[in-house]
Each structure stands twice: as C-alpha cells, then as structure tokens.
Amino acid sequence: MQDWREDKTFFRATIALPVIWFLIFFVVPMAMVWAYSVGENVGPVDVEITGTFANYAKAFTPEVLKVMGDSIVLAFVTTLICLVVAFPVALAMTFADEKQKAWLLLLIMLPFWTNLLIRTYALIAVMRSSGVINTGLEGLHGLLAFAGLQMGTFEPLPLLYNKFAVVVGLVYVHLPFMVLPLYAALDRLDKSLIEASLDLGAGHLETIRRVIVPLAAPGIAAGLVITFIPALGAYLTPDLLGGPDDLMIASLIERQFKRANDWPFGAALSFILMYITLLFFAIRAFMERKGGKVGAH
C-alpha cells in the first residue's frame, strides 16, 4: 500500500469518479430525504424545512406503531424460520466434498439470482385458491369423497393474502441470505474440535449445541442481521402476498410518496427504517470486533 501523496495524480484519477458518483447520486438524495423528514407541507407541492420533529412524532401513533410492530414480528419470525431451515443445509455443505459443495452452493444461489418478482409470482401461482396446492387438495378431497367418506364441500385453504403467506414469501426469498453467512462461519471451524467432541462421547445434537453453535456464533449473528434487515424493509413480498391488513413499513413509506402525498412523513418513516438498519449493522460490527478479540486470546 502506498501513501496517496506519493502519487497524487494517479490517486485522484482513480478515486475521483466513484466518489463523485457516490456523493451526487447517493449522499445528496439521502440528505434530501433526511431534510424532508424534518420538514412540513406548506402547500400542495411545497415543503419547508422547519426542523420539526412532528413527522417522527407521527410515527408513534397507534396505527403506525401497529404496522411497525407487525413488520418487526414478521421479519423476526422469518429470520428464525430461516435459521432453523438453513442451519442443517449449511452444516451439510461444510462437510460435503468439493464437488458436492459447488453444486449445493449453486442450487442455493440460483433462486437468489432469479428475479424477485418472478419468484413471488411463482409462489402466488402455487398458493392461490385455484393454485397448485389447492387444486391438488381438491383432487384428494374428491378422491376421498368418491371412496365413500363423508367430506362435505371442498373449501380451498386460504393460503394467500394473509400473514402466513407473507412469512412463507419472506422465507422463500431470504433463505440464501441465511445459508451463505452460516456456511462461511461453519466452513472456518476447526473440524478437529467437532471430531474430538464426538470421540469423547457427545452425540451429534449435543456437539451441535455445545461445540458448533458457540464457535459459529459470529456467523449466526451475521446471518440473523443479514436476513432480518432486508426482511424488515421488504416491499414486494408483503405487497403481493399479504392482505390489506398485513402492511409492512415499506408499503407504508410507498403510500406516503405515491398515494397520500405526505413526503415529509414518508421521509421520516424512511429514516426510521434507516436508523434501525444502521443500528443492527453497528451491533453486528461491534460483536464481530469483540468476537475477533476473544478469538485472538
């Protein structure tokens, strides 16, 4: 690494464009949102930056708090399900041979690279009342009725447009976010420790609980944050799979901009979501540093 003063022109030539781009198209827009979050509507289109906290106060009304509470619960449940589902997958990947590893990684990553909208749409096709699951159940129902069972009329399961659908959709979309950091953490583990635990008579589950999980804790924490944050800010999944009562923060923000036309309030909500996000990343960075120190001793 070279000090920038040794070669000022070259340094400037390489760093200038990315930094300027970042400032104009990221920092300036975000600063505008921040300014608006302390502004007031003074006309149909005019907003005055008055330094008020009224927009943030508005976020603490019961209706908005309900949406935020729902969002946090939905994202949290999603994250836990992802953890439970992804842990064995990551474990299997860690101890697979090179070729199997590559295949498993590809299989996990492929849906992740597939268009989010297409994946959500595919879920709708499976879960709607005339979708694959309900048609299959109807067939089964008909078969049982044909066999002489008293079945009553078939009612399609209400799989879509409720919180259940939102959680299924969020898990479906965010599972790779959990698998990858878990795998990265487990892959770095000293495998002889696990072997030692098994040799010394601990069962597999006990080894997982008392050896693997504590050692992989930083990776698990990373996975939790990396899954929770996008799930909390998800827009498309709750919008398409949820019902009218299953609003999440992102939809509420979108409404302020596209329908309600209350930009200052939307800006404040957007920054509340930003603060939550940054808080989680700060906690994670802090834990990583602490974990690193413990590991060094």
Partner 1 sequence: MAKKVARAPLDYLNMPAMKAWLAGVFVFLYTPLIILILFSFNDSKANVVWKGFTLKWYVKAFENTQLREALLNSLLIAGVCTIISVVLGALMAFAFWRFKFPFKGPLESGMSLPIVVPEICFGVAVLMFFAKIGFPNDLPYPFNLTQIILAHVTFAFPFVAIVVRARLESFNSELEAAALDLGATRYQAFRDVIIPHMKPGLIAGGLLAFTLSLDDFVITFFASGPGTITFPVKVYSMVRFSVTPEVNAASTIIILITVIATVLALRAQSATTKES
For residue 83, the minimal CB distance to partner 1 (Å) is: 13
Site for partner 1 in 179-218 (CB under 8 A): 191, 194-195, 198
Under rule CB under 8 A, residue 103 binds partner 1: no
Structural contact between residues 115 and 107, judged by C-beta atoms closer than 8 angstroms: no
Q: Does 32 bind partner 1 (CB under 8 A)?
A: yes
Give residues 139-168 in contact with partner 1 (rule: CB under 8 A): none
Is 69 a binding residue for partner 1 by CB under 8 A? The answer is: no
How far CA 142 is from CA of 75, 126, 137, 138, 158, in Å, comes to 38, 20, 8, 6, 19
Nearer to partner 1, 172 or 217 (CB): 172
Amino acid at 130: S
Choices 10-18, 48-56, 60-68, 142-150; region in contact with partner 1 by CB under 8 A? 10-18
- Smallest distance from partner 1 to CB 223, Å: 15
Q: Which residues 106-145 are close enough to bind partner 1 by CB under 8 A?
A: 106-111, 113-126, 128, 130-132, 135
Minimal distance, residue 150 CB to partner 1, in Å? 26
Give the one residue of 235, 243, 255, 288 binding partner 1; rule: CB under 8 A: 235
Residues sharing a CB contact under 8 Å with residue 15, sequence separation 6 or more, in sequence order: none
- Closer residue to partner 1 in complex, CB, 148/201: 201
Toward partner 1, which CB reaches closer, 150 or 192?
192
Rounded Cα distance between 97 and 117, Å, is: 34
Q: According to CB under 8 A, which one of 172, 187, 255, 291 is a site residue for partner 1? A: 172
Look at residue 41 and give its three-state secondary structure: strand
Task: Centre a 10 Å sphere on the Cβ of residue 166 and count the other Cβ atoms it contains.
Answer: 29
Output b/e per residue, 248-275; b: 16+ Cβ within 10 A. Answer: bbbbbbbbbeeeeebbbbbbbbbbbbee
Q: Does 77 bind partner 1 (CB under 8 A)?
A: no
Q: Which of 270, 271, 251 is nearest to 260 (CA)?
A: 251
- With CB under 8 A, what is the number of residues at the site for partner 1? 86
Contacts by residues 52-61 (CB-CB < 8 Å, ≥ 24 positions apart):
55/264, 55/265, 55/267, 55/268, 56/268, 56/272, 58/265, 58/268, 59/265, 59/268, 59/269, 59/272
240 part of the interface to partner 1, by CB under 8 A: yes
Task: Mark 79-98 with x for binding to partner 1 (rule: CB under 8 A) and - for no binding.
Answer: ------x--xx-xx-xxx--
Judged by CB under 8 A, the chain residues 252 through 281 that form the site for partner 1 are: 253-254, 257, 263, 266-267, 270-271, 273-274, 277, 281
- Other CB atoms within 10 Å distance of the CB of residue 282: 10
